[in-house]
Structure 1
Amino acid sequence: MYERVLVPTDGSECAAAATDHAVAIADRFDATLHACYVVDTDAVAHAAPELSLDDLRETLREEGSAATAAVTERAAAAGVETTEVLLDGVPEDAILDYVDEADIDLLVMGTHGRQGLDRYLVGSVTERLVRRSDVPVVTVRGD
């Protein structure tokens, strides 16, 4: 049923909970687990304009490599094959492009449980992907 499962990660506890589910699903279906991290320099550049874009991009790429390596480590412990990828751009767009390029069958993502006005004004990457994805999306709530 599933041959390629994608788990986007930001290295958070919520992403780790999603990783556990993604590993279990990939193991059950003998699927390859794809771990991705999106380098979204635009969002951070607005928050910290004093940083150079190159330094910011390098810092985020290092953070992304550590986050995807953590997914690979968890998957390896279960005997699940992984592919790590760092993407650039707007998170939901970059993830959806990768879903198409890599022929992903299932997307597994953590939620951050946003509530109130912030949820309606800003939304979340997970929520936007649930609405836009052509493949099934499993959402996992963090502790």
Structure 2
Amino acid sequence: MRVLVPIDGSDCSFAALDYALDLYNMGGVTLHVIHITDYETDASEELLKKATDRLSAAGIDAEPELVTSLGLDSPKASVKIGEHIVSLLEADDYDQVVIGRHGERGRLEDFLLGSTSETIVKHAPVPVTVIPA
């Protein structure tokens, strides 16, 4: 089973990674960890190192992928990220996605800002496991 795990550095995204590592430990699972951002920064390097350390501790010799090519300067960047993740799920034959979900927001905030996890849940062609904040 191939599982995609998008991370953004938040506690809930690392909780999603921990959940995916539990799946990995059950056997028969391959993980692909991805971080999508505008630019590679010290913060993104730090979160990639944190994720790599967690993967290494689980015996996984892999590095998370960094994607910086989406042009996320729009107000609805989270929707664009969600759409990119859905396209990865379709193109790369994943079986599941495990993603963290930030705390509850209002409808106006979701309308204005979008929601990565909501976009994925609505459009993913595979099962989605959402780990709340």
Name the TM-score class by shorter chain.
0.7 to 0.9
Residues 82, 31 of structure 1: alpha-carbon distance in 2 compared, 3 angstrom cutoff:
farther
- 2:130: which partner in 1? 139
TM-superposition CA deviations, 1:81-117 (whole Å, max 9, x none): 5352122323112212222333221100000023223
Distance 1:96 1:108, change over 3 A: same
Q: Is the 8 A contact 1:8 1:108 kept in 2?
A: yes
1:106 is the counterpart of 2:96: yes
Structure 1: where are the runs of 5+ without partners? 42-56
Distance in 1 of aligned mates of 2:112 and 2:53: 36
Instruction: Return structure 1 stretches of 4+ with deviation > 6 angstroms.
Output: none
| Structure number having the greater helix percentage | 1
2:29 matches 1:70: no
Structure 2: any 5+ residue segments left out of the alignment?
Answer: 71-79
Letter in 2 for 1:78: A
Q: What's the TM-score, normalizing by structure 2?
A: 0.78
Q: Cα distance, 1:71 vs. partner?
A: 1.9
Number of aligned positions between the proteins: 122
TM-score normalised over the length of structure 1? 0.73
Structure 1 residue 120: Cα displacement? 4.5
CA RMSD of aligned residues (A): 2.0
- The residue aligned with 2:114 is 123
Maintained 8 Å contact 1:32/1:83: no
Aligned AA for 1:141? Answer: P
Please state how far the C-alpha of 1:141 moved relative to its aligned partner.
1.0
Question: Identity of counterpart residues, as a percentage?
Answer: 34
Structure with the greater alpha carbon radius of gyration: 1
**CA displacement, residues 7-50 of structure 1 (integer Å, 9 cap, x when unaligned):** 101111111111110111122133221110112x3xxxxxxxxx
